[in-house]
Amino acid sequence: MADDESHGLFGGVFARGPVAVDDNAWLQAMLDAEAGLARALERAGLAPAGSGEAVTAAARAADFEPGELGALAALTGNPVPGLARALARRVPQAAAGAVHRGATSQDIVDTAAMLLARRVIDGVLADLARAADAAAGLAGTHRSTIMIGRTLLQQAVPVTFGLVAAGWLTSIDEARQGLAAVSSGRLAVQFGGAAGTLASLGEAGQRVAALLAEELGLALPVLPWHTDRLRIIDVAAALARAAAALGKVARDVTLLAQSEIGEVHEGAADAGAPAQQAAASIPGAPGAPGAPGPAGPRRGGSSAMPHKHNPVAAIAILGCTRQAPGLLATLVASAEQELQRAAGAWHAEWEPLACLLRLTGSAASWAAELLSGLTVDGSRMAANLAATKDLPLAEHVASLLAGVLGGAQAHDMVAEAAQRAVSAGLPLRDVLLAVPKLENRLASAGITAEQIESALEPAGYLGAADAFITAALEAHQSLEGSWTTPSALRGG
């Protein structure tokens, strides 16, 4: 969990990822960019020997005060000028000239954004891999666990929970591939100087840019991208795709975990331990030394209703993922930037991008826990399916009759039987087999009671569900077999 933000009021929900996206993380990424530049300048012969090492040693976020740099940012519109001055004061005089040489503020902030995105994406990919493996396990285990399918939130036809989990698996794996592609190919160094020409470095500009990219393990773009924000959009879109995949999983869980449905439940949470430890440190809190009441808070509990067991992980995921579309929209809107450097649109990117990184990281962390501990109640699924009184198999019966009665007449006949069944509170099979008018029509069509009984068996109307599950599992196994982490592709 991101240590600094996890102590904030909402950090336990929205900053749960393994990589922090806070002021210190941004500050360290900017310092890493400055240090990489100093090393590149030294390698290019534009800074004295030892400059790179000196600047790198001084580039520690813990030694700087974000609040002071933020106050100075009010004078210049961004924190980099104050940071560069503070960093130069912390290195030997001989190395001071290597700090920020040839760069403009946007070079440092954009490069820092790429470094921060890489770190977060690596963490997200690790959690998504855990979530995907858990979804694959659910798909394989429950490939024959039959449940009612629901379309437009109404009962439809039978499906299997294995197919539901296979759908989750496929979307998570596709999100992983998208994030990996962005991480390995679209995270590029930014180094263009005042207006994208690197004029202050003369003929050495391109060489320093290449060395800087090498030092930081980022791609070298064809030219500076100060007002070409497609890389930012690509990062944001890949994050939003992952958020969308996780939001789908979480929404399904909240629906299936409703008291009236009760087909899945969140399992015991590893994350409960930190929460209980935190509560134990608050004097007078339940579980604290000398405090009355139970030891520690209960996961999923309500402040008002003692009986509640809320699906906290799924709810937290949705709390994160619901914010992603608006953040993506802001970043896309900010891509319209003027001439060589933007007046405000660039500044508008910083917080939405940081929020999107943080929220996606948190959602992925929650999802790994959710799917790893999800409890599936197959008996409840069977009971809910039985409670439909055969109505979800009406389509199957109609298809059986269509061959002898024609599609329209078969549909109308079964619709009439279904209406009678609902009105009388009877199973569909009782109406089809007991109403003389319908029974006679079935007999005249050569349809036997045994055929009707067979058509009303859920296990006989699952179509390609099993084959689809197999395909999803094979695709997942193939992905795992060929998977190369973005860090490996970068040589990191």
As annotated, the active-site residues are: 302, 341
> Pairing between strand 146-151 and 154-160?
antiparallel
- At 325 the three-state DSSP class reads helix
A 10 A CB-CB count for 49 gives 10
Hey, what are 284's tokens?
């007078």
Q: Which of 132, 117, 120, 205 has the alpha carbon at shortest distance from 175?
A: 132
A 10 A CB-CB count for 322 gives 15
Q: Which residues contact 313 (CB under 8 A, 6 or more apart)?
A: 250, 253, 266, 269, 271, 366, 367, 369, 370
Q: Which of 80, 98, 93 has the alpha carbon at shortest distance from 41?
A: 98
Length of the chain: 492
Q: Kindly report the backbone phi and psi dihedral angles of residue 159, in degrees, each rounded to the nearest multiple of 5, phi listed first.
A: -135, -175
d(CA 224, CA 199): 13
Amino acid (1-letter code) at residue 187 = L
What's the number of CA atoms in the CB half-sphere (13 Å) around residue 50?
5
d(CA 257, CA 314): 10
Start-end of H helices in 62-104: 66-76, 80-89, 93-96
Distances (CA, A) of 491 to 38, 211, 487: 21, 15, 6
d(CA 182, CA 241): 12
